[in-house]
Amino acid sequence: MAAHLNIVVVEDNYDLREAIVEVLTALGHRVLGLSCAEELADEGAQAMIDLLVVDLNLPGEDGVSLSRRLRRTQPGLCILMMTARDTVRDKVAGYEAGADIYLTKPVSIEELMAAVQSLGRRLRTGQALFGSQATLSVSGAELRAQGPSGGIDLTAVEVALLTALARAPGQRLAYWQLLEILPPGIDGTSLSNLAVRMTRLRKKLSEIGFSGQTLQVIRHEGYQLCLPVQLC
């Protein structure tokens, strides 16, 4: 059985969107249905996604542009495109924009479920690299982290940063990718603001039993998370 995922479905056809949300929710996934790309930013859920299910013909920003933009900032994100565009050129463009799976409509429920389960299995791989090291558990729903010495509350931004790092190849992201996660506001999205947030995160990780270099600075590049992580 594939892991339960945080899924966002971006589809402007109301009936189809609701049907997909209902099916994936019944499988135990946490699913948010949106009618356009712009709603994704409004919901503030961008950094919390495991899987994006996206139509290409959307009002406003289209699915190809949305996929390309999210793939740049979240390399570990899974993207499933569903569209009526069925030419070879369309499919190549979709994969070049970051699609993991490209399905042409009409898509059967069975094929959609199989595709989602396949991507869920892929998301579960790679944690064995840390051997017997204690695992950090991060709950996006509860805004909480659990370690060998107990649990601690996190802010939504802290959860987003840890989630993005956990999903990235090598658990490493560049400065600009991490800055994309920070919300605009009074503090801005400067490197100094990012450094302050990372320092606070290190302190919280230390408080729940993780010692040593938990969040490593990669000089002139970015940050690397040096713990095995389970996303709940």
pLDDT at 44 (0 to 100): 53
Q: Where among 89, 123, 157 does a domain terminate?
A: 123
Please answer whether residues 230 and 136 qualify as being in contact, where contact means their C-beta atoms are separated by less than 8 angstroms: yes
In a domain, 1, yes or no: no
CA–CA distance, 228 with 130 (Å, rounded to integer): 6
Q: Check whether residue 178 and residue 112 sit in a common domain.
A: no
pLDDT at 189: 58
Q: What does the radius of gyration of the chain's CA atoms come to, in whole angstroms?
A: 18
Residue that is last in its domain, among 62, 97, 123: 123
Q: What are phi and psi of 84, to 5 degrees?
A: -80, -10
CATH of the domain at 145: 1.10.10.10
Task: Report the alpha-carbon distance of residue 50 to residue 231 in Å, rounded.
Answer: 10
Residues 15 and 115 in one domain: yes
Beta bridge partners of 53: 9, 80
Model pTM above 0.85: no
* pLDDT score for 98: 85
Same domain, 142 and 101: no
Distance CA 191, CA 7 (A): 30
Note the pLDDT of residue 88. 85
CA dihedral 83, 86, 89, 94 (to 10 degrees): 20
pLDDT value at residue 49: 80
pLDDT for 46:
58
Domain residue limits at 134: 127-231
Do 221 and 209 share a structural domain? yes
User: Do 92 and 190 meet the contact criterion of CB atoms below 8 Å apart?
Assistant: no
Side chain identity at residue 54, one-letter code: V
Q: Consecutive sets of 10 residues in the chain, 232 residues long: mean pLDDT of each?
A: 77 94 92 91 64 93 91 81 89 87 90 89 55 75 90 91 85 87 65 90 93 86 88 80
